[in-house]
Amino acid sequence: MKLIYQLMISFFAVILTVIFIVGGTVLNYYSNYVYSNTFEQLTGYGQNAEQLVMSSETGVKGQYQISPSMIHKIEQVFTNQRVNFTIYSKADNESNDNVRVYPTDGDLGHRPMPDHLSKEYWSRLQKSEYIRDVSSSGKLLGGQQSPKGAQPQAYVVVPWFYQNKMFAAIVVSARVADIDSNIAQIESNLFVALIISLVLALILAYLLARYQVSRVNRVRHAAHEVADGNFDIDLPSKHRDEIDDLATDFNIMAKSLRDSQTEIERQEERRKEFMANAAHEMRTPLTTINGLLEGLAYDAIPEESKGKSIELMRGETKRLIRLVNDNLDYEKIRTGQIKLSRRQFDAMGPLHNIVTQLTKKAADAKDKLTLEGESPVSVYADYDRFVQIIFNVVQNAIQFTQDGQITIKAERGFHEAVFTVSDTGIGMTPDQVKNIWDRYYKADPSRKNTKYGESGLGLSIVHSLVKQHGGTIKVTSELHKGTTFKLTFPDATDADAMESASHRKRGA
Ligand SMILES: Nc1ncnc2c1ncn2[C@@H]1O[C@H](COP(=O)(O)OP(=O)(O)OP(=O)(O)O)[C@@H](O)[C@H]1O
Ligand SMILES: [Mg+2]
């Protein structure tokens, strides 16, 4: 079943239930009210009649006699109220029986009244009790069988007293049919109100259901949009209810899909770039080797140059091997396949070695290479990878500095070892700095320095390795002024230390 119908049915059911409960209560309350009001009125009439009788001169005071003509006159007054009076009086002074004194049998007409009141009624009346009741159809007052099949009556019996002695009782009665016709009027009014309310409820239920369904449909349409590849979705949400929450969640989902889509596109772009760069990097040495091999094959290379050609080919082959190895290395580091075996050691030792190894290279570039730092500078790292990192950074500094100064500084920071490599070389623009961690990136591809077989992989590997150590690498550079690399290696946490200890134990 469609949601709109489900919602309408539930709204409608609630409204219907409320209307029935309220309607029933109102009707019940009203009919009770009408009856008690009627009894109240009838009682009032009975008391008024008593006063009229007692004050009238024709009333024979103290003699317990009632003048029917007087009662008849009083009754005439109440004709409009459709009320009947019936009066019972003591049969005689001695016995406790009673007889109907008004109206006489001939004047009884349509009113179904017994000849005398029951003993039970009479004794209750003597105790000044007012009797209120409704006779059922076909029954007389007090439950006696009616000879003619009487109409139901609502009646009040009021005792009349003179000098503290009850001398008569008046039954003031009204036809139940008259009272019920009042109630029926209310019932029909209520029924009309009910029908109007139901129609309004139906319209309201429809509007409410349509509003909710439209909100759900908005999310549905958005889902279709996403399915069609459009992730630019922003559903309105006021955080009022679950549908709003759904819209918010949907927005979050669309955003993360959009982000992953962008990431996928970026990765794809990088993959393409990588393939192009890798192919380009390999083509140069391969072309050189191929050219030389062809020269050798067709004897186009003079005998004395052959040795040099072979040396050139070896160099190019080495470069290719390094390229492939670096790529493999980078992938392994990036995908976390390389396990670091970290330990705490004094960094000054390996730093001295690096300086020794690179002094010649620095001298070739007319650079001064100095190391600053007081042994021990404790660092927590994988020894070989640490050497690889610093070596790469220092080698870059030499590579891009002529006639300058290169300073390696080692010191302790807060729970970390800090190394800075600064040079007074060519420097970089902020734009170039942003990209140096990318694979195959060379700030200026024209300044090819084949001496070191530049491939633009060095810093990508360094970056990945430092990250794997949980450290940081930052660069500040100014064009034509120089560059400074700052590296930090955090100390071992307890967990790291335990891990490395267990590694060593397994290795031993
Ligand atoms: N100290 C530096 N001064 C100026 N530019 C630098 C410095 N270090 C790196 N760069 C720039 O960053 C680029 C990337 O460096 P990276 O070490 O990754 O590659 P490479 O040195 O060109 O090649 P490889 O190290 O793979 O042989 C360099 O080509 C250079 O443009
Ligand atoms: Mg390099």
Residue among 300, 462, 334 at smallest CA distance from 387: 462
For residue 449, the CA-to-ligand 2 centroid distance in Å is: 10
Per CATH, 3-183 and 339-507 having the same topology is answered: no
For residue 421, the CA-to-ligand 2 centroid distance in Å is: 13
Q: Are 288 and 312 in contact (CB under 8 A)?
A: yes
Structure tokens at 5: 């119908």
Tokens 């730092």 belong to: 373
Pocket of ligand 1 (CB under 6 A): 396-397, 400, 423, 425-428, 436, 441-444, 452-460, 483
Whether residue 430 has a cis bond before it, omega within 30° of 0: no
pLDDT of residue 15: 85
For residue 5, the CA-to-ligand 1 centroid distance in Å is: 69
For residue 442, the CA-to-ligand 1 centroid distance in Å is: 6
Structure tokens at 399: 């590579």
Distances (CA, A) of 472 to 253, 338, 383, 469: 32, 18, 17, 9
For residue 456, the CA-to-ligand 2 centroid distance in Å is: 6
Ligand with the closest atom to the CA of 441 = 1
Q: Tell me which long-range contacts 278-286 makes (C-beta under 8 A, separation of at least 24).
A: 278/323, 278/327, 278/440, 281/323, 281/440, 281/455, 282/320, 282/323, 285/316, 285/317, 285/319, 285/320, 286/316, 286/320
- Closest residue CA from atom 8 of ligand 1: 396
- Closest residue CA from atom 9 of ligand 1: 396
Ligand with the closest atom to the CA of 454 = 1
The DSSP code for 451 is G
Tokens 């006696």 belong to: 144
Interacting residues of 266 by C-beta distance below 8 A, sequence separation 6+ = none
Residue among 451, 475, 459, 326 at smallest CA distance from 396: 459
Ligand with the closest atom to the CA of 485 = 1
- Listing from the earlier edge strand, what are the strands of the sheet with 368-372? 368-372, 405-413, 416-423, 482-490, 472-478
Structure tokens at 28: 């019940």
For residue 459, the CA-to-ligand 2 centroid distance in Å is: 6
Q: Are 458 and 392 in contact (CB under 8 A)?
A: yes
26 three-class SS = helix
- The CATH number assigned to the domain with range 3-183 reads 3.30.450.20
Domain ranges of the chain: 3-183, 242-331, 339-507
For residue 257, the CA-to-ligand 2 centroid distance in Å is: 37
* pLDDT tens, N- to C-terminus, the chain (508 residues): 788 888 888 888 888 898 889 888 988 998 899 889 989 989 998 888 888 777 765 545 455 567 777 778 877 877 777 788 888 888 776 677 888 888 877 767 667 788 888 888 888 988 989 999 888 776 777 667 766 667 788 889 999 887 788 888 889 888 888 788 888 888 899 889 889 988 998 898 899 889 989 999 999 999 999 999 898 889 988 888 999 999 999 999 999 999 999 989 988 887 887 788 788 878 888 998 999 999 999 988 899 989 999 998 998 899 889 888 888 888 888 787 888 889 999 999 999 999 999 999 999 999 999 999 999 999 999 999 999 999 999 999 999 999 999 999 999 999 999 999 999 999 999 999 998 988 777 776 655 544 555 678 889 889 999 999 999 999 999 999 999 999 999 998 866 766 666 666 665 5
Tell me the C-alpha distance between 26 and 19, whole Å.
Answer: 10
Tell me the C-alpha distance between 183 and 166, whole Å.
Answer: 36
Q: Are 361 and 395 in contact (CB under 8 A)?
A: yes
- Closest residue CA from atom 25 of ligand 1: 458
pLDDT of residue 147: 64
457 three-class SS = coil
Structure tokens at 328: 């493999």
Distances (CA, A) of 153 to 18, 62, 86, 133: 34, 32, 13, 8
326 CA: nearest ligand 1 atom:
26
DSSP assignment string, 149-179: -PPPEEEEEEEEEETTEEEEEEEEEEEHHHH
Residue among 468, 378, 462, 480 at smallest CA distance from 426: 480
The DSSP code for 456 is S
Pocket test for ligand 1, best of 325, 396, 444 (most atoms within 8 A of CB): 396
Pocket test for ligand 1, best of 327, 454, 455, 484 (most atoms within 8 A of CB): 454
DSSP assignment string, 361-372: HHHHTT-EEEEE
Whether residue 445 has a cis bond before it, omega within 30° of 0: no
482 CA: nearest ligand 1 atom:
3
- The number of helix segments (H) and strand segments (E) in the chain equals 11, 12
Ligand with the closest atom to the CA of 322 = 1
Tell me the C-alpha distance between 59 and 176, whole Å.
Answer: 32
449 CA: nearest ligand 1 atom:
22
437 CA: nearest ligand 1 atom:
18
- Closest residue CA from atom 19 of ligand 1: 456
For residue 457, the CA-to-ligand 2 centroid distance in Å is: 7
CATH of 339-507, one of 3.30.70.1400, 3.40.1180.10, 3.40.50.740, 3.30.565.10: 3.30.565.10
Instruction: Locate the DSSP E strands across 285-377.
Output: 342-346, 368-372
Do you know the residue count of the chain? 508
Pocket test for ligand 1, best of 398, 399, 457 (most atoms within 8 A of CB): 399
pLDDT of residue 81: 73
- Closest residue CA from atom 20 of ligand 1: 456
Ligand with the closest atom to the CA of 427 = 1
Q: For every residue of 232-277, which 3-state class applies, written as one string?
A: CCCCCCCCCCHHHHHHHHHHHHHHHHHHHHHHHHHHHHHHHHHHHH
For residue 398, the CA-to-ligand 2 centroid distance in Å is: 10
Residue among 402, 389, 390, 493 at smallest CA distance from 451: 402
The CA angle 414-415-416, to the nearest 5 degrees, is: 90
Specify whether domain 242-331 bears CATH 1.10.10.10.
Answer: no
For residue 291, the CA-to-ligand 2 centroid distance in Å is: 28
